Amino acid sequence: MVSVLFILAIGLMAVFLIPTTVSGDSPSEIAASYIQKGDDLTLKKQYLEALEAYEAAVASDPYNSIAWNKLGIAHMNTGRYQDAVTAFEKALTIDPFYPEAWNNKGDSLLKLGEYDDAISAYDQALLLNPNDLYALLRKGTSLQESGSPAEAMLIYQEVISLAEKEVRKHPDYARFDAKLWANKAEALYRLGRYPEAVEAYSAALAINPKYDRALQGKIHAEEEILRARGSPTTTIPATEGNIVDIGLTNLPVSFPVLLGALVAAVFLLRIRQQKK
């Protein structure tokens, strides 16, 4: 009897003292690992591989709004804007108070040329945060693309005013907010204020030298400055179709034509001098 009790005691001790392995993780933990994998791949610009990782994340946890939002971004990065809209709508069904998903949905709709729906999405983001400069800026872009440039110009002015107010009110925070400066820069760009846009983009890049949006924006603004020096007339920048976020101003006369005219003028001048 004593031996039997002793064996039972040893068995109970083994149950409570010897660690046991847990079989599998929870769906949310699995999804989180796939999201991290997708984020890492996105940073490497391996967008198709990132897309697969985010698809695995939503398959593991279909009620994860972050995973759906990330999947939507991956669809955008691969040019699948309609699929992106669907993913963002999934995220917003789960969490209607997700401003980033509203903005992303608006961006996808803007790419598809569905301007009214894009404006509605940005308005939802602005309801959640009236100081969302990005949503306000993109709403202006949608208005400009849909044929309401006057309204768009007023919005761009508002973006600049709000950005400058934020800098005055929270200067320490603004020193580390690259997105704030990029939003201001793009508004300046769209108003044709290119030198000021370059300064604002430079401020964004001083905070984050790898900020692609600021890098590309600064290049476009500098190109416009060079073009303005070659021609006295410039126009308000416009987005080209549904592909490029920041459009390039088309000159009335191309550079090769101008060069050819200059060469011809010099040639005629020399002929006249020889005749004299």
Give the pLDDT of residue 238.
Answer: 36
Mean pLDDT of 76-91: 97
- Three-state DSSP class for 36? helix
Q: What percent of the chain has pLDDT over 90?
A: 72
In a domain, 252, yes or no: yes
Closest CA to 139 of 150, 154, 124, 152: 152
In a domain, 251, yes or no: yes
In a domain, 11, yes or no: no
In a domain, 268, yes or no: no
Q: 116 and 142: one domain?
A: no
Q: 232 and 247: one domain?
A: yes
Listed in sequence order, the residues at least 6 apart from 218 whose beta carbon sits closer than 8 Å to its beta carbon are 185, 197, 198, 201, 202, 205
Looking at the structure of the chain, the number of domains it has is 2
Q: 250 and 163: one domain?
A: yes
Secondary structure string (H, E, C) spanning the chain: CHHHHHHHHHHHHHHHHCCCCCCCCCHHHHHHHHHHHHHHHHHCCCHHHHHHHHHHHHHHCCCCHHHHHHHHHHHHHCCCHHHHHHHHHHHHHHCCCCHHHHHHHHHHHHHCCCHHHHHHHHHHHHHHCCCCHHHHHHHHHHHHHCCCHHHHHHHHHHHHHHHHHHHHHCHHHHCCCHHHHHHHHHHHHHCCCHHHHHHHHHHHHHHCCCCHHHHHHHHHHHHHHHHHHHCCCCCCCCCCCCCCCCCCCCCCCCHHHHHHHHHHHHHHHHHHHHHC
What's the rounded Cα separation, in Å, for the pair 228 and 20?
72
What's the rounded Cα separation, in Å, for the pair 210 and 207?
9
Q: Is the dihedral of CA 85, 90, 93, 94 positive or negative?
A: negative
In a domain, 247, yes or no: yes
Q: State yes or no: pLDDT of 76 exceeds 90.
A: yes
Q: State yes or no: pLDDT of 53 exceeds 50.
A: yes
Q: 79 and 141: one domain?
A: no
Q: 212-269, pLDDT tens digit by residue?
A: 999 999 999 999 999 988 854 444 443 333 333 322 223 233 344 344 444 444 444 4
Q: Which residues of 28-52 are buried (b: 16+ CB within 10 A; e: fewer)?
A: eebbbebbebbeebbeeeebeebbe
Which of 80, 99, 130 is the last residue before a domain boundary?
Answer: 130
Mean pLDDT of the chain: 82
Assigned token pair, 256: 């090769």
Give the pLDDT of residue 25.
Answer: 82
Q: Distances from the Cα of 139 to the Cαs of 49, 63, 196, 204, 237, in angstroms?
A: 31, 29, 21, 21, 16
Q: 123 and 143: one domain?
A: no
Which of 114, 130, 146 is the last residue before a domain boundary?
Answer: 130
CATH number, domain at 102?
1.25.40.10
**What residue has token string 């550079």?**
255
Q: 118 and 38: one domain?
A: yes
Which of 79, 97, 130 is the last residue before a domain boundary?
Answer: 130
Q: 65 and 172: one domain?
A: no
Confirm if 246 and 216 have CB atoms less than 8 A apart: yes
Q: 166-221, pLDDT tens digit by residue?
A: 999 999 999 999 999 999 999 999 999 999 999 999 999 999 999 999 999 999 99
Q: 90 and 38: one domain?
A: yes
Q: 145 and 248: one domain?
A: yes
pTM over 0.85: no
Q: 135-169, pLDDT tens digit by residue?
A: 999 999 999 999 999 999 999 999 999 999 999 99
Q: 44 and 139: one domain?
A: no
What's the rounded Cα separation, in Å, for the pair 173 and 163?
12
Q: 198 and 123: one domain?
A: no
Q: Which domain holds residue 250?
A: 134-256
pLDDT-derived band at 2 (thresholds 50, 70, 90) equals very low
Q: State yes or no: pLDDT of 117 exceeds 80.
A: yes
Give the pLDDT of residue 231.
Answer: 58
Q: 46 and 153: one domain?
A: no
In a domain, 231, yes or no: yes
